[in-house]
Amino acid sequence: TILLDSSGSMVGAPMELAKAAVRGLAGRLRPGDRLSLVASNRQAQVLLQGHTVGSNPAAEAAEVASILSRVRADDITDLNRGIAAAYETALKGYDYRYLSRVVVISDGGANAGELALQTIAKHAEDSDRQGIYLAGIGVGEGFNDQLMDGFTDKGRGAYLFLDGEEELGRLLEERSFVAAFDVAVKNVRLKMVMPPGWRVVQFHGEQVSARAADVVPQYLSSNDQMIYHLI
């Protein structure tokens, strides 16, 4: 399920790049895959529900392009509604034998509260079955990565920033595409043993604690990164 931010801040180049990303992602799907598309500003609108990809790429591309041509960037975005609608569409076609993803495309300038984060975390839980993980794609010059970082932390997926068509082309390459939307390793924590008498004065990263249980494990995609800076 692709969730497209259609708020007013996406007007112009960000929306065009976001639409290109949707067309590109749809074009990478294979016959038998299922695609849903949700657009969200003040309200959430399901544009495509559980569509099964056929064997005619040209026809598939034309249908997605036709749907996207009706999407306009305006108003504000309540991503709480958008997230809820995206997961609702994903659940309707859920099958544990398939990888299931919600992909959020946004400039990061939308409103989203704790409710959206709780919804994402709930569906990303992994028990005996495959969870519905969330991946994020950021667009736009004023991109705010804090929102997308929060989403993808809860959603157990990676996020990428697209600064143009060239970067989108690299994302859609076979190896990059699979790596960005699959999970390579789960429940990662890093441990550092310091010499006696040393202590951490400053830390910049996800979390730090002397107790492993206080640190939320990370899920990493291929080529994903965990970056820390400490003194």
Residue 111 bridge partners (DSSP): 78
C-alpha triplet 10, 221, 177: angle, nearest 5°: 60
Res. 9: pLDDT tops 80: yes
Each residue's pLDDT tens digit, 151-204: 888 888 888 889 888 889 988 888 888 778 888 888 889 999 999 999 999 999
39 — pLDDT class (breaks 50, 70, 90):
very high
Higher pLDDT, 225 or 168: 168
Res. 120: pLDDT tops 90: no
Cα(124)–Cα(37) distance, integer angstroms: 19
Measured N-to-C along each axis, helices 79-92 and 114-124 cross at an angle, to the nearest 10 degrees, of 20
The pLDDT value recorded for residue 112 is: 66
pTM: 0.84
Res. 145: pLDDT tops 90: no
Cα(61)–Cα(12) distance, integer angstroms: 22
Higher pLDDT, 57 or 69: 69
Strand runs labelled E in the chain:
2-5, 34-40, 44-52, 100-106, 132-138, 159-161, 185-188, 203-204, 218-220, 229-230
Between 29-33, 34-38, 43-47, 141-145, the lowest mean confidence (pLDDT) is in 141-145
The arithmetic mean of pLDDT across residues 128-138, rounded, is: 80
> Residue 54 corresponds to which amino acid?
G
Cα(201)–Cα(75) distance, integer angstroms: 45
Give the mean pLDDT of the chain.
87
The pLDDT value recorded for residue 111 is: 64
Each residue's pLDDT tens digit, 80-115: 888 999 999 999 988 888 888 999 998 877 666 677
The arithmetic mean of pLDDT across residues 47-60, rounded, is: 89
Res. 126: pLDDT tops 70: no
Res. 127: pLDDT tops 60: no
The pLDDT value recorded for residue 129 is: 59
